[in-house]
Amino acid sequence: MHARSALFALLVALIAVEGASQPASLAPHAGLTMLRAIDAALSADPALAAARADFSAAHAVVGQAQSALRPHLDLSSSLLEYEKPMVVTPIHGFTPGELPEFDRTLLQSSLAATFLLWDGGASRARVRQAQAGESVASASVDAAVRTVAAQTAELYLTVLSQSAALEAHDLRITALNSELARVQQLRAVGRAADVEVLRVQAALAAAEADRTATAASLDVAERELARITGLAVEQTRAAELAKTPLDTSAIGEREALDRMAVESNPNVRQARERIAAQNAAIAFARAGNLPRLQAAGSLLQFGSGAGTFATEWNGGLMLRWSPLDGGATRARIAEAKAQALKAEEELKLSERNVRDAIDRAIADFEQARASVSSLETAVARFQEVVRIEKLRLQEGAGTQTDYLRAEADLMQARAGLAAARYRSMTAMVEIARLTGQLDASWISQKLRSEG
C-alpha cells in the first residue's frame, strides 16, 4: 500500500514540476500555462483535499487492523478508599499464618501482556479488508487528481476557444466598419442610397450583439478558471494564457485505448479493490465461529495505605469459542457474500461505463477533427469569396447584400474552426483521463511548446 500511495504522490509532484520553479501566482507576465493552471488547481481543489484526507484515514485503519497481530501491553492502576477495611492482597490459603492484611486504602497495579496465537484468520482478513479499503481511497485520490486536471485543462481550452471566437467577431466588425465608412463616403457625394448605409449599420449592430454574447461567455469561462485554480481572475484572462495548442495528431488505436481504460481507469480500479475488500470481509465473517487462542500474562502489585506492598504474576493461554451464536455468524457471511456480488456487478458496470465514455470521447474527437479539416477549407474559400465580393462591390458589379453575407459566413467559419480545434483538444484530454494517462508527462508531450 505504501508503494501505491507513493505513486499517487509522485503523480501530484509531476504535475507540479513546472509550477515549482515559478508559481503561476508569481509569474503573470510569463503567461499562465496549462501546467501551471493545473498545478494551482490541484493545490486549491477541496474535493482533492478531501480525497487525500480519506486516504490518510484509510491508511490509519490499516494500522489499526495490523495492531491485532502484534503483542499488546496494558498498564492499569487504582487507588480506592473503602468504608470498611478490605483485603489488601489475594488470599492464597486458609492457615493461621497466611491471614491477609486488611486496610481501608487499597492500591492495585497491573501490567498485562497478550499476544494473539490463532483466531481462524479473522485478524488477517481484517487487515486485507483494510488494505483493500486503502487501495480504494488511493484510487479515489488518483481519480480526483485526474478529474481536477481534466476540468482545468478543459476550462483553459474553453477560454482560448471563446477568445478565438471573439477575435473572429472583431475581424467581422472591423470589416463592417470599413464598409460603413465606404458607403457613407459614397452617400456624401450622392453615389449611395440611404438603404445601403442602413443595411451595413444593421449588420454592424447584429455583429456587435453577437460579440457581446461571446464576450460574456468568455468572461464566465475566465472566472470559472480563476475559481478552480484559486487564482485572481486577472491571471486567467485570455490575454494572460499561453496560447499553445495540444498536438492532436494521434490518440492511439481504439482497442488499445479500451484496454487501457479497463486496466488503468481509477474508477474501474476502485470497483476492483472493493471486490477484494468484500472477499476479505467474507473470510472475516467465517472466522466468527472459530476458536480464538491467545497467550496472556500479568504482573500484579497490591498495596495498602500503610505502605505494605506485595507483587505476584500469572501467565498462560486463553481460549474463547462461540460454537453457537444464534446464527449471527451465518448472517454476517450471507451479508458479506451479497456485498461481494454487488461489488462484482459494480465492476462490470464501471467497465461498461468507461468503455461507453471512451467511445463517446473518440467520436467527439473524430467529429471535431473532421470539422477542423472541413472548416479550414471553408475559411480559405470564404476569405476568397469576401475578397472577390469586395472587389465587385467597389467596381459596382456586385451587391452589398452578397458582400455582407460573405462576411457573415467567413466569421461563422472562423469561429467554428476555433471551436472545432479546441473541441478536439478537449476530447483528447477526456480520453487521456479515462485511460489513466492524464498527468504532467502526457501534457508536456502533447504541448507543441510551453511558455
Cα-Cα-Cα-Cα dihedral sign, residues 372, 378, 381, 383: negative
Q: Which residues contact 373 (CB under 8 A, 6 or more apart)?
A: none
pLDDT-above-90 percentage for the chain: 66
Query: Residues 57-93: pLDDT tens digits?
Result: 999 999 999 999 999 999 999 999 999 999 988 888 7
- Residue among 171, 170, 178 at smallest CA distance from 400: 178
Residues shown for the chain: 451
Confidence class for position 210, pLDDT limits 50, 70, 90? very high
CA-CA distance, 156 to 173, in Å (whole number)? 26
Joined grid coordinates for residue 88: 489488601
Long-range Cβ pairs for the range 323-332 (8 Å, 24+): 323/289, 325/288, 325/289, 328/288, 329/285, 329/286, 329/288, 329/289, 332/285, 332/288
CA-CA distance, 148 to 230, in Å (whole number)? 12
CA-CA distance, 227 to 237, in Å (whole number)? 12
Confidence class for position 237, pLDDT limits 50, 70, 90? very high
Query: Residues 147-163: pLDDT tens digits?
Result: 999 999 999 999 999 99
Neighbours of 80 (CB within 10 A): 10
Contact 128, 135 (CB under 8 A): no
CA-CA distance, 430 to 67, in Å (whole number)? 42
CA-CA distance, 148 to 34, in Å (whole number)? 12
* Position 304, amino acid: S
Q: Is 241 helix (H, G, I), strand (E, B) or coil?
A: strand
Contact 265, 135 (CB under 8 A): no
Domains in the chain, CATH or no CATH each: 2-70+118-289+328-446 (1.20.1600.10)
Confidence class for position 264, pLDDT limits 50, 70, 90? confident
**Least-confidence region, from 24-33, 205-214, 350-359:** 24-33
Task: State the pTM of this model.
Answer: 0.79
Query: Residues 9-38: pLDDT tens digits?
Result: 434 444 444 444 344 333 334 589 999 999
pLDDT for residue 1 is more than 90: no
Query: Residues 358-398: pLDDT tens digits?
Result: 999 999 999 999 999 999 999 999 999 999 988 988 888 88
Report in angstroms the alpha-carbon separations of 127 from 9, 59, 71, 289: 23, 11, 16, 19
CA-CA distance, 11 to 17, in Å (whole number)? 10
State CA 446 to chain mean position distance: 21
The reported pLDDT for the residue numbered 448 is 61
Residue 250 DSSP one-character state: -
Joined grid coordinates for residue 196: 445601403
| Mean pLDDT confidence for 246-257 | 85
Contact 302, 90 (CB under 8 A): yes
- Residue among 62, 74, 65, 75 at smallest CA distance from 119: 65
Neighbours of 26 (CB within 10 A): 9
State CA 236 to chain mean position distance: 21
Residue 450 DSSP one-character state: -
CA-CA distance, 68 to 350, in Å (whole number)? 34
Beta bridge partners of residue 106, listed in sequence order: 80, 304
CA-CA distance, 315 to 300, in Å (whole number)? 11
The reported pLDDT for the residue numbered 168 is 92
The per-type count for the chain, helices as H runs and strands as E runs, is 11, 4
DSSP string, 97-157: GGPPPEEEEEEEEEEEEEEEEE-TTHHHHHHHHHHHHHHHHHHHHHHHHHHHHHHHHHHHH
